[in-house]
């Protein structure tokens, strides 16, 4: 069964900490994505990557950065965590094809910044 694995289900961090969220996929997918999901706001794209060492800003990149050193791994970095970054973070991956059957999502990381 294809999988996207996010390293933590729940995280609690302090304001100002540097936070790393890790995502690994085992499907040899080219594309990887980071979203945050908040009630009433839906899924909002933070960053995405179409290839190793490549990254593109999504709709809300401020306060975040990403790293993709290997095809299977896409990391989201909160440079200095703030309380407004408390959210559910979802990683997804997909094939780089027009008929790619959409995205496969991980189970999410619920991050609380105190």
Partner 1 sequence: QKEVEQDPGPLSVPEGAIVSLNCTYSNSAFQYFMWYRQYSRKGPELLMYTYSSGNKEDGRFTAQVDKSSKYISLFIRDSQPSDSATYLCAMKTSYDKVIFGPGTSLSVIP
Binding site for partner 1 (CB under 8 A): 4, 33, 40-43, 45, 48, 90, 92, 94, 96, 98-99, 101-108, 110
What is the nearest approach in angstroms of partner 1 to the Cβ of residue 44?
A: 9
Which residue's CB is nearer to partner 1, number 14 or number 91? Answer: 91
Which residue's CB is nearer to partner 1, number 37 or number 67? Answer: 37
What is the nearest approach in angstroms of partner 1 to the Cβ of residue 16?
A: 27
Number of H helices, E strands in the chain: 0, 11
Taken as a whole, the chain contains a residue count of: 114
Which residue's CB is nearer to partner 1, number 14 or number 102? Answer: 102
What is the nearest approach in angstroms of partner 1 to the Cβ of residue 86?
A: 15
Cα–Cα distance for residue pair 32/91, rounded to 1 Å = 7
Cα–Cα distance for residue pair 39/81, rounded to 1 Å = 20
CA dihedral defined by 27, 35, 88, 70, rounded to 10 degrees? 40
Residues 101, 105, 111: CA angle, nearest 5 degrees: 160
What is the nearest approach in angstroms of partner 1 to the Cβ of residue 33?
A: 8
Which residue's CB is nearer to partner 1, number 40 or number 83? Answer: 40
């Amino acid at each position: 069964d294809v999988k996207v694995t996010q390293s933590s289900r729940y995280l609690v961090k302090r304001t100002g900490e540097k936070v790393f969220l890790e995502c690994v996929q085992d499907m040899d997918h080219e594309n990887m994505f980071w979203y945050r999901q908040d009630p009433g706001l839906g899924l909002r794209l933070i960053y995405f990557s179409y290839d190793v060492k490549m990254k593109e800003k999504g709709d809300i990149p401020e306060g975040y950065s990403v790293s993709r050193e290997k095809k299977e791994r896409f990391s989201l970095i909160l440079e200095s965590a703030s309380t407004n970054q408390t959210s559910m973070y979802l990683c997804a991956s997909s094939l780089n094809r027009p008929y790619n059957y959409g995205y496969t999502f991980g189970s999410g990381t619920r991050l609380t910044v105190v």
